[in-house]
Amino acid sequence: MSEQSVGKLKQLERLLPEGVLVDSAWFSARDYCTSLRTKYVGLGRLEQPARRVYAARVGS
């Protein structure tokens, strides 16, 4: 993972409490592109319970 990605991930961990649902607009407003959200879902850092809805994985 790139240094910028690691920084964005740490920022996300501070901004998004575990289990809180947010939509894709929330991420866009904070400069998280679609590919980065997809990457975090693939890494298990985010859950995607519905299309364009995300939550920080509990226990990650």
- Is the confidence at residue 60, as pLDDT, over 60? no
Enumerate the domain spans of the chain. 3-56
CA-to-CA distance for 8 and 54, rounded, in angstroms? 16
pLDDT in tens, 10-59: 999 999 999 899 999 999 999 999 999 999 999 999 999 999 999 998 87
Per-residue confidence at 3, pLDDT binned at 50, 70, 90?
Answer: low
pLDDT at 1: 61
- Is the confidence at residue 4, as pLDDT, over 90? no
Burial class (CB in 10 A: 0-12, 13-18, 19+), 58: exposed
